[in-house]
Every structure is written in structure tokens, then in C-alpha cells.
Structure 1
Amino acid sequence: MNDDTPPSATKAGAAFRTIGELSRDTGLPQHILRYWETRFPQLKPLQRAGNRRYYRPEDVALVRRIDQYLNREGYTVRGVQQLLAGEKTTPPAIPGPAEIVAQAESPMPALRAIRDMLAEALAAD
């Protein structure tokens, strides 16, 4: 990986994204993503030490859907809330380390992401 490659471009699809990475990937400002968390209860990224947000692949997909409804199809926030509330959802399964590594093209970035998450969790205790 060279230095001008964005970190999110090298991550596996199952890797967690920070709010900065998600903002760069979607073109949405970080404050909009935080605002959507207050308006859409389905959007619940993991929060670690220092309130650092980690978006799971399911969260990323939901952000893209909300963006599609609001910014491309012209729905209001209330309209999107009603659409999402009407859907039957099951709580997303949090992938374990073995699943993250198995889904990754290369296990090293996935293992580093797991290591970093564990280090932050230990530092928070």
C-alpha cells in the first residue's frame, strides 16, 4: 500500500469503518452521520474509548440507504424513519474474529483491525 491510498480502500468488506473513513467513502460530512444516529435508532455504530465510532458493514449499508432516500429520492427524515420502522429487522450479528479473517482477501489487515479494537477496549477499562 502506498501512502496516498486511503485506508478504507484497503479494508476488507467486513472490516469496521471509523466515522472519518465512512465520511470519505460516502461524501457525507461527519456531523450529518452523527445527526442521523440521533434520528434513526437502527443506526448504532459501536462506540469505543473516547466515543470513537466503528461502523459495521450493516451500518455502512444503512447509511447508504438513508443517503439514497434523503438525498436522491427526496424523502423527508420523517418519511425515512417510517420506511425503516416498517421493515422487519433482526439485530445484526457482530462478526467474530474468525469471520472477519475468513471474509478478508488478506488476513493481515483484518487481524490488525481486530488487534487495534482489542487494544482500545483494554485501554478503556
Structure 2
Amino acid sequence: MDSTSKKYYKISEVAEMVGLPMSTLRFWENIFPTINPRRNDRGTRFYTPRDIEAIRMISYLVKDKGMKLEAAQEELKRNRDGITKKFETVQRLRQVRDRLQEMLDSLHHLR
């Protein structure tokens, strides 16, 4: 998972971090009130780490779990804490899997 060390990120940076097109981020911004980037005078969006985590959680529900947008909205309203725990667990498991894959690749290169 990419770390979020800056205070604000442009939409292109966020799109790259989460692996989604910028158009999807703009669309989700209109549907999910938890995604609320700030804008400057020119209209440039600036996302906070909190916005990015909300996007990752929505992506988990929509892309990984296969929920429709309306169902994801309802699930977030009903059980945000439960979703957060599951999302964090899945993220940790992916990190472990990636690290194990790196170790296996290193072992294969030693042969």
C-alpha cells in the first residue's frame, strides 16, 4: 500500500496510487460524501489522506467484493466500522502475500 505522507494530493497522484481512472474518482466524488477533495481557485482537486482511504474502501467494496454503488453506499452507512476492519485485514494480507512473493522470487533467482 502506498503511504500517504503529504497533506494533499492531486487527482492524478491519487488515481495512480489507487489504480483507478481519474474519471472514476470524479464520479465517485459526486456519489460518496466521504470523498470531499478541496479545490483551489482554478478548480484543481486536492485530496487528503482521509479522502484516499475512503476511496480505497469504496474500491474494496465495488471492485473486490463486487457491490453496486448503491449497495456500497448503504453498507458504508450501516457498518462503516466493520467494513474498515475487513478492509484493513485484506490490505494487511495483501502486503504479506506480496512480501512472500518477493521472497519466493528471490529464492528462485538464487538457483
Q: Same fold (TM over 0.5)?
A: yes
TM-score by length of 1: 0.58
Match of 2:37 among 21, 26, 45: 45
- The answer to whether the aligner puts 1:66 opposite 2:61 as a matched pair is no
Structure with the larger helix share: 2
1:48-89 deviations in whole A, cap 9, x for unaligned? 121111110100000000011100111110011102222579
Taking the aligned partners of 2:53 and 2:71, their CA distance within structure 1 comes to 18
How many residues matched? 80
Match of 1:78 among 41, 49, 70: 70
Higher relative contact order (CA 8 A, sep 6+): 1
TM-score by length of 2: 0.64
Q: How does 1:80-95 map to 2 (within 5 A)?
A: 80-87=72-79
Change (3 A) 1:79 1:52: same
5+ residue gaps in structure 2?
82-111
5+ residue gaps in structure 1?
1-8, 90-125
- The answer to whether the aligner puts 1:19 opposite 2:8 as a matched pair is no
Instruction: State the percentage of identical aligned residues.
Output: 26
